[in-house]
Amino acid sequence: MEIESVSGSPTAKKESVSDVFERIGESIESHENRIRKSFEVGLADDSPLMSVPDHVKAQFERWDNTFNLPEDKALVEKVKRQVIELTNSNRDYVREKVIDNAQKAKLEMAMKAVSKTTQGIQQLLSAQ
């Protein structure tokens, strides 16, 4: 079966169904790769979402310059460790949630694709 290309040009070429499906598949794969790259960039350890915020780093530096007594320095180091642990815990939580949500979305899209494919096949069969 051949389909006329809807390119708007007067010299529209005919494409086979497999060519159309191949182009659709390539387009979907391209979109999926862009989405995956966005997630990877956002979830990188040095991204703003996953690292200690700049204003917290600046506060750490101010504390280092302000407190000189050994007891104060020990307390500041303990607070800094706790803030970093909290940031790491948050980082792990965000990663887990993003992965879970991405897997759910992927499953939903796969189910929709199967449904649409089934509908398309049914329409082709009923048209014959």
Q: pLDDT band for position 3 (50/70/90)?
A: very low
Around 6, how many Cα atoms within 13 Å sit in the side-chain half-sphere?
1
Task: Average the pLDDT over 28-57 and give the result.
Answer: 86
Going by C-alpha positions, the residue among 100, 103, 98, 92 that lies closest to residue 45 is: 92
User: Residue 12: is its pLDDT beyond 60?
Assistant: no
pLDDT of residue 61: 94
Mean pLDDT of 29-36: 86
- Are 50 and 43 within 8 A, CB to CB? yes
Q: What is the mean pLDDT of residues 14-38?
A: 82
Find where tokens 């992927």 sit: 106
Quote the pLDDT of residue 13.
61
Question: What is the chain's length?
Answer: 128
Supply the pLDDT for residue 39: 83
Average pLDDT over the chain, rounded to an integer: 84
| pLDDT of 14 | 66
